[in-house]
Amino acid sequence: MVGAEVDAIVVGAGFGGMYQLYKLRELGLKVQGFEAGTDVGGTWYWNRYPGARCDIPSLFYSYTWSEELQREWRWTEKYAAQPEILRYANHVADRFALRPLIAFETPVLSATFDEAADRWRVVTDRGDEVSARWLIMATGCLSTPRAPAIPGVESFAGETYHTGAWPHEGVDFSGKRVAVIGTGSSGIQSIPEIAAQADQVTVFQRTPNFSIPARNTPLTDKDIEAFKAMYPQYIAMIKGPGMGFGGGSAELPIPDDEAQRKRYEELWAIGGAGFLAAWGNLLTSIEVNDRAAGFVRDKIGELVSDPATAEALSPRDHPLGTKRICVDTGYYETYNRPNVTLVNLRQTPIEAIEPHAVRTCAATYEVDALVFATGFDAMTGAMLAIDIKGVGGADFREAWAEGPKAYLGLAVAGFPNLFLITGPGSPSVLSNMINSIEQHVEWISDCIAYMREKGLTRIAADPTTQEAWVDHVRQVADKTLFPRAASWYMGANIPGKPRVFMPYIGAGYRQTCNEVAAEGYRGFTLGKVHADAHAS
């Protein structure tokens, strides 16, 4: 594909990229997708670790843009497991004939804006060079796995895995001694499953996390009927002004201690991340948050037989929900198994990995396999891996050197005609991501349609408007408890990464985006390459 010209390039074939390809093809554009993996699915293609499943009920963690798709797909569980979600992604790709639009096993390496033509020139690791007017980055927020540089890690003689890049053929841990490093969502989902299979599991925990039981169940006909009955209200709600955290409960806690506890008990019994919606100020009032956190710690104490282990599993260094809340199946109970040991790295840090062991300052743990559940270079990692040059040779990595900056999380000043799907500065990872993906894809598609209709070839975010939006994103976050946690939302999991709260937590985001578009793309400069340019 050297010298090929298309109208739009979409990088990434997860739920974002697939829908974007579909929409642009519907508009009549010639589109080319590039995907590093061998197939579609993104997150659900890469994260095949045991126990991987969604934490937003599947009926809601589904595309809403096709009624036929809604009708014909039936989820089997409240929270579908990874293989089922991947089957859904594959079904979408087949159902809408998306695969022919995508070059698989083709990572995009660079993109350079040609100012004379208002086109992006994209280069892949296969040597493709393709030019397009529009470049849409559907590269994912949690798509760059990271493993810490622990001394000696390269000397480990056993098997090494990362939850975010799990082998397709699966892993059999039977008869093995397994070390799991990391207790975020991926660790919390995989540890019970690994423990059920392996001889011995040693969990190396640096920071305990709050986790709420999923209470996953098979979906019944009755559940599906109830969902169908409320579907119009659901659509009205997600298309309404509340998208982002502003859409949560508005209720404030009742002063009575017993009544508060009753509410937490009810939500604990229901299970899932809805626990965070207990009160409208759970994520802004430390007093309210402390109560809820105390409730969860009490539950950990009830679930884990050994008091010292229960205490080590009890988070005390960050408010509940300010690190992504985890949703589990039997996580805390797993520590009652005789084959599971918890190592508290706050007391006894890892010093080195040896060929057959993990060594802390206090002991050496012999293991056959190492599982890194150590997360991702979230929200910026995939973008910064690509060498992007904008107007006047502007370097994308420099533009984001102090932290990511994007107008509405959709566009970056200095990089015209490039759009981000669920980029930093949008609700993104704080929302149901499929809803946010759809909103961005539809906004971007409308914008491209508008540009073509008007014969325009360049749209660029204004630096001052972008700066104001970035400021607003920070101010809104500062009113919450989120900045108090050393979370990946803040970039705190990557040494040297700027500490900036990356997603947008304010209310009314969709409405703002709609208004920006309705006002002729307020905050953007629109132009034409030269008089005789034809819009493509």
Is residue 283 involved in binding ligand N01 (CB under 6 A)?
A: no
Backbone angles phi, psi at 487, to 5 degrees: -110, 170
Place of tokens 């009314």: 508
Binding-site partner at residue 8 among ligand FAD, ligand N01, none, CB < 5 to 8 Å by type: none
The least CB distance from residue 283 to ligand N01, in Å, is 15
In the complex, the smallest distance separating the C-beta of residue 114 from ligand N01, rounded to whole angstroms, is 36
Residue choice 58, 62, 202, 207 for contact with ligand N01 (CB under 6 A): 207
Helices (H) and strands (E) in the chain, counts: 15, 20
- Tell the smallest beta-carbon distance from residue 431 to ligand N01 (Å): 11
Closest contact distance (angstroms) between CB of 374 and ligand N01 is 4
Site string for ligand N01, 414-433 (x = CB under 6 A): ---------------x----
Task: By CB under 6 A, tell whether 52 contacts ligand FAD.
Answer: yes
- Residue from 25, 30, 91, 206 in contact with ligand N01 (CB under 6 A): 206
Residue linked to tokens 């932290």: 403
Q: How many residues does the chain have?
A: 536
Reduced to 3 states, what is the DSSP secondary structure of residue 120? strand
Under the binding rule (CB under 6 A), the answer on residue 35 touching ligand FAD is yes
Asked if residue 14 binds ligand FAD (CB under 6 A), the reply is yes
d(CA 288, CA 481): 11
Q: Retrieve residue 223's tokens.
A: 């559940």
Q: Is 375 among the residues that bind ligand N01 (CB under 6 A)? A: yes
Q: How far is the CB of 126 from ligand FAD (least distance, A)?
A: 11
Considering the rule CB under 6 A, would residue 183 count as an interface residue with ligand N01?
Answer: yes
Q: Does 54 bind ligand N01 (CB under 6 A)?
A: yes
CA–CA gap between residue 320 and residue 292 (Å, rounded): 7
Q: How far is the CB of 345 from ligand N01 (least distance, A)?
A: 6
Q: How far apart are CA 128 and CA 121, in angstroms?
A: 10
- CA-based nearest residue to 458, from 527, 394, 536, 533: 527
Nearer to ligand FAD, 186 or 487 (CB): 186
Nearer to ligand FAD, 144 or 334 (CB): 144
Count of C-beta atoms within a 10 Å radius of residue 534:
8
488 is a contact residue toward ligand FAD (CB under 6 A): no
- The encoded tokens of residue 353 equal 């990995």
Binding mask 484-503 for ligand N01 (x = CB under 6 A): ----x----x----------
- Binding test (CB under 6 A) with ligand N01, winner from 176, 324, 389, 440: 324
DSSP string across 417-472: TEEESS-BTBSGGGS-HHHHHHHHHHHHHHHHHHHHHTT--EEEE-HHHHHHHHHH
Angle among Cα 420, 426, 430 to the nearest 5 degrees reads 120
3-state helix, strand, coil in the chain (%, to 5): 35, 20, 45
Tokens of 103: 């070059």
Residue with the CB atom nearest ligand N01 in the bound state: 184
Among 107, 148, 152, 330, binds ligand N01 (CB under 6 A): 148
Q: Is the dihedral of CA 266, 272, 274, 279 positive or negative?
A: positive
Site string for ligand N01, 126-145 (x = CB under 6 A): ----------------x---
Total of residues contacting ligand FAD (CB under 6 A): 37
Structure tokens of 416?
A: 């015209």
Site size with ligand N01, rule: CB under 6 A? 26
Q: Are 53 and 19 in contact (CB under 8 A)?
A: no
Contact residues for ligand N01, defined by CB under 6 A: 54-55, 142, 148, 163, 181-187, 189, 204, 206-207, 324, 327, 345, 373-376, 429, 488, 493
Contact residues for ligand FAD, defined by CB under 6 A: 11-17, 34-37, 42-43, 45, 47, 52, 54-56, 61, 107-108, 138-143, 186, 382, 385-386, 421-422, 432-433, 437
